[in-house]
Every structure is written in structure tokens, then in C-alpha cells.
Chain A
């Protein structure tokens, strides 16, 4: 099993550009999450999904959209990137009472 994978690993965007980050898990997990990590602030939840076809807002959802069309994939979109969205993005998944399992992260820089 590959676990949780994230694509791409690195990306540089110009202000106003759009992009989609892909998270894929092969563990048949129901729950999936997108976090951002900024220096000195820990991880903050952007959006999450409790199952295929469902999504919900976390604590910092503004400027992001998500979709969960397939159970194994959770996409995070930035429609118009801003420098404040420069961060490291982590995806995680979970099943039942087990704890969250994190991917390796995507480092995004917006200039």
C-alpha cells in the first residue's frame, strides 16, 4: 500500500493563478482532511470530507475549494492564489476509530 500520497510535492504560483492539489489514499478510508502548516502555528484544518460526495469547511476555508468525487481522492483547489496561501499543505485520512494518517505534504509558494 502507498498510504496517503500527495501531488505535486512542490509548486510555485504567481498571484492570481489557479491550481489543484491532489490527495490519494489506497486504504479505503472514509474520512479525508486538508490542512495547512505555517511556521509557529501548527496545522490548521481547511476542509474535510466524511465520505464520497461530501465536503465541509474547517477552520480556515476561505480561498479554497474541495471535491471528493471518488472515495480515494480528495482535491484541494485554489481559484486565485494569493501570497497568504504560501504554506505547506497536508492531506490526511482516517477510518473508524483509528487516528489520522498524513501524507508527505505539498510545499506551495505564491509570488
Chain B
């Protein structure tokens, strides 16, 4: 089955620093998504990417859909304490003509921001 490898597993940074994390896949995805999960809450969509090579920003967040369709990157600039949480990548393919929107999730990156 499809697998996503997300790295790093955890990050400890100082407020104001930039953050980078990425996901790689053994197979092609047609959609890449980045979610954030706060403690005790469900994942919330941050950025959605639908085209290879696409670069999309959402405030201080920027994500890119890799040209090979097998990877994606998320950058957070000038981190603040409320950026703390778990960040997940997720990929979706249309292999086999499935239309139910099955997502494959990465293992998550735990981000800690020290004031």
C-alpha cells in the first residue's frame, strides 16, 4: 500500500525561527494536503495543493507540491508560540478511479516553540 514518510518527527525551536518539514512517498499523489492538530482537537486543514510544482502560501505558511508528485514541503516563517502542535501531511491519488477521497497520512511532525 501507499506510504508517506514525514520528517522530522519532532522539532524544538525558538520563537522567531523558521521551520521546514517534508513528506515523501513511494508512489504518486494527485493532491497534497497539510493539516495542523492542536492538543485534544481534530486536524485542521492549512494548505491544499492540487498541481505538481504548485507553491501556495497561507500567511506565514508556505507549501509546495513536488514536481515528481512524490513529495511535498511545508515551511513556517517567523514561528510564534501558537504554532505549537502536530503537523500532518496527507496525500490523495485517484488510482483505480476511486472517488471517495481516500487520504494517506504521514506520521506527523511535533513542533515545540520556546518563547
Quick one: which of B74-110 are within 8 Å of A by CB? 88, 90, 99-103, 105-108
What sequence of 0s and 1s flags, for each residue 97-111 of chain A, a beta carbon within 8 Å of any chain B beta carbon?
001111111000000
A-B contact count (CB 8 A): 51
Quick one: which of A64-103 are within 8 Å of B by CB? 90, 92, 94, 99-103
Q: Is the CB of B42 within 8 A of A90?
A: yes
Q: Is the CB of A42 within 8 A of B108?
A: yes
Determine the distance from Cα of A100 to Cα of B33 in the docked complex, in whole angstroms: 10
In the assembled complex, how far is the CB of residue B87 from the closest CB belonging to chain A, in whole angstroms?
A: 11
Q: Is the CB of A31 within 8 A of B48?
A: no
Give A59's nearest chain B residue, CB to CB: B1
Assess whether A19 is interfacial by the CB under 8 Å rule: no
Question: If A42-B107, A59-B1 touch, does A48 touch B102 (CB 8 Å cutoff)?
Answer: yes
**Secondary structure type dominating chain B contacts:** loop
Interface residues on A, range: 20 to 34
Determine the distance from Cα of A102 to Cα of B45 in the docked complex, in whole angstroms: 9
What sequence of 0s and 1s flags, for each residue 34-55 of chain A, a beta carbon within 8 Å of any chain B beta carbon?
0000001111110010100000
Q: Is the CB of B4 within 8 A of A42?
A: yes
Determine the distance from Cα of A110 to Cα of B106 in the docked complex, in whole angstroms: 25
Assess whether A56 is interfacial by the CB under 8 Å rule: yes
Determine the distance from Cα of A42 to Cα of B44 in the docked complex, in whole angstroms: 14
Q: Is the CB of A102 within 8 A of B101?
A: no
Binding site for B on A (CB under 8 A): 4, 31, 40-45, 48, 50, 56, 58-59, 90, 92, 94, 99-105
